[in-house]
Structure 1
Amino acid sequence: MAKVVFKAGSTPYTLHTLFSSGGSLTYDEAYGKNIRHLSQRIADLKAKFLEAGIKDLIMVIDEPNDRGGFHARYFYRGYGCPLENKEGARVY
């Protein structure tokens, strides 16, 4: 299996660090951390993992937002995020 390498300080590195520590992130939270276009960054991260032969690591769950709709919350499977076992969580 190939190795996944992240450039220190890059957006994929920031996301990987957060998710591998059991954290999760929504678009609004990402925007507050100066991460733009979260859905595209997640897709890029997934492509990096697929290229390395790692699949089904990124998960997503829909949850209500403050505007009366729903937003996606992203996290890693198997890294201690409590959302992993919540109903509605699915592989991205």
Structure 2
Amino acid sequence: MATITFKRGSTPYTLHTHFTAGKSLTFVEASKPKQDGGLEIYHLSQRIADLHKKFQEAGATSPLMVIDEPNGRGGTHARYFYRGHGCHFEHQDGARVYG
């Protein structure tokens, strides 16, 4: 069984905690200041790739999933979440395993 350790307070820890609570996240939501309810995580796509890599390096199956959704400006953006943690996006059309 693979063991993954996160340093408390690190960005991977923050993302892991957020996702295991059944929550999802987009770039816009992640980059909001903490006082506005955001996580103040910048370059989210790179941070997600780093989190995915932690699972790969540990030999564990990554629970990361992604779904594209309208961004309100005529395009789409990615919404990230974990499968198996109660996020309702997991069962929507277009949801796919990250990677």
Give the TM bin, normalised by the shorter chain: over 0.9
Alignment of 1:1-92 (within 5 A): 1-32=1-32, 33-92=39-98
Write the distance in 2 (CA, Å) between the matches of 1:41 and 1:18: 13
> What is the CA distance between 1:51 and its match in structure 2?
1.1
> What is the CA distance between 1:56 and its match in structure 2?
4.0
Q: Which residue of 1 aligns with 2:36?
A: none
Distance 1:56 1:7, change over 3 A: closer
* TM-score, with length taken from structure 1: 0.95
SS of 2:56 mapped into structure 1: helix
* TM-score, with length taken from structure 2: 0.89
Moved beyond 2 Å, runs of 4+: none
Aligned CA RMSD, in angstroms, stands at 0.9
Write the distance in 1 (CA, Å) between the matches of 2:49 and 2:61: 12
AA aligned to 1:18 is H
Structure 2, unaligned stretches of length 5 or more?
33-38
Q: How many residues align?
A: 92
Structure 1, unaligned stretches of length 5 or more?
none
